[in-house]
Amino acid sequence: RKKVTIEALRAMKEEKTPITMLTAYDYPSALACSSNPLVDITLIGDSLAQVCLGYKSTTELSLSEMIHHTRAVARGTTHPFLVADMPFGSYQISGEDTARNAVKLIQEGRVEALKLEGGSEIRDTVRKLTGMGIPVMAHVGLLPQRHVSMSGYKVQGKDVNSARRIISDALALEEAGAFSVVLEAIPKELAAYVTKRLQIPTIGIGAGPHTDGQVLVWDDMMGTWAGHKAKFVRRFGDLKAERDSAIQKYAEAVKLRTFPDHSESYTIDKMTWEEISR
Ligand code: KIV
Ligand code: NA
């Protein structure tokens, strides 16, 4: 498949072709995303903080840790449009710091676009980056990087003020030049409305079926994540069962000395061995 572009994503919205986005955190998961022509966007989500690095929240992830992962994903990526999350703290300090960190993530991390969590309050940041020619994907609704100030990972936009705020945030970010927006954990009616109001594609996670696209975290989708399963997660695979059974079989075979067998072992010429062991 040809490289996916921002223009192609916009056309998919117009043609009502759903956009598939999936996270990847390393070379093999990037190759897997790239091996399927139906995957449009690969996201190096800062969810890697939890699912790959064992941190409690995405706020613990540094820019250099993110870059370490994006480089690996970039090496395995072909056609999907490649987006990375800007880690918490890398786009809040000052305009200068934000610009420097964004350039670093693009140049060293080798991604094509950056995703930033936040509403109207980050419009100037989004405008600054898009003005530099860096494509920005916005992210509104539930903002995991703000789980403490939001008092947990909760559905957003359930009351009048919160819903109106999400609508105006999405419009402000589109106006600031974002090429797409992620809608996380909001009522499906609100997501449908935002999707209709925006020219740019919306990508939902816990936002119902009426967004322009969907995204899931790799480990949730594969069924390898044993932790909390959000309402919006569907496990399309059961790789945890498969993985654990493989570990069990391997460990048993080692303990029983049934692994390795003759065919899995190297041998030396008999005469040579006699000479050595004489
Ligand atoms: O970090 C992440 O994986 C994300 C997506 C789930 C949208 O931000
Ligand atoms: Na994220």
Mutate to test the pocket of ligand 1, among 19, 25, 40, 46 (most ligand atoms within 8 A of CB): 46
Q: Which atom from ligand 1 is nearest to the alpha carbon of 115?
A: 8
Ligand 1 atom 3: the closest Cα is on which residue? 45
Q: Which ligand is nearest to the CA of 205?
A: 1
Tokens representing residue 183 in the block: 């809608």
DSSP string, 185-227: S--HHHHHHHHHH-SSPEEEESS-TTSSEEEE-HHHHHT---S
Q: Please give the CATH superfamily to which domain 6-237 belongs.
A: Phosphoenolpyruvate-binding domains (3.20.20.60)
Our answer on whether the CB atom of 182 is closer than 6 Å to any ligand 1 atom is: yes
pLDDT tens for 157-215 read 999 999 999 999 999 999 999 999 999 999 999 999 999 999 999 999 999 999 999 99
pLDDT at residue 227, rounded to an integer: 87
Q: What is the mean pLDDT of residues 84-98?
A: 98
Q: What's the complex ipTM?
A: 0.99
Closest CA to 89 of 123, 125, 54: 125
Q: Ligand 1, closest atom to CA 47?
A: 1
Catalytic residue among 112, 117, 174, 184: 184
What backbone phi and psi angles, to 5 degrees, belong to 43?
Answer: -115, 125
Q: Quick check: 140 and 119 in contact, CB under 8 A? A: yes
pTM, rounded to two decimals: 0.97
Query: Which atom of ligand 1 sits closest to the CA of residue 182?
Result: 7
**Which pLDDT does position 171 carry in this prediction?**
98
For ligand 1, the distance from its centroid to the CA atom of residue 10, given in whole angstroms, is: 20
249 near 259, Cβ under 8 Å? no
Indicate which atom in ligand 1 lies nearest the CA of residue 184: 7
Delimiting residues of CATH 3.20.20.60 domain(s) in the chain: 6-237
Whether 213 is in the pocket of ligand 1, judged by its Cβ within 6 Å, is no
Q: pLDDT for 234-243, tens place per residue?
A: 999 999 999 9
Is residue 84 over pLDDT 90? yes
Whose C-alpha lies nearest to ligand 1, atom 4?
A: 45
Collapsing DSSP to helix, strand or coil, 105 comes out as helix
Query: Comparing C-alpha atoms, which of 198, 197, 215 is closest to residue 206?
Result: 215
In contact, 201 and 186? CB cutoff 8 Å: no
Residues 160 and 189 sit within 8 Å (Cβ to Cβ): no
Decide if 242 is catalytic. Answer: no
What pLDDT shows up at residue 226?
86
Give me the chain's average pLDDT, please: 98
Residue 263 Cα to ligand 1 middle (Å): 45
Q: Compute φ and ψ for 267, nearest 5 degrees.
A: -125, 160
Average pLDDT over residues 10-39: 98
- Decide whether any atom of ligand 1 lies within 6 Å of the 23 Cβ: yes
Kindly give the distance from the C-alpha atom of residue 48 to the centroid of ligand 2, in angstroms, as a whole number.
8
85 CB under 6 A from ligand 1?
yes
Mutate to test the pocket of ligand 1, among 19, 40, 47, 222 (most ligand atoms within 8 A of CB): 47
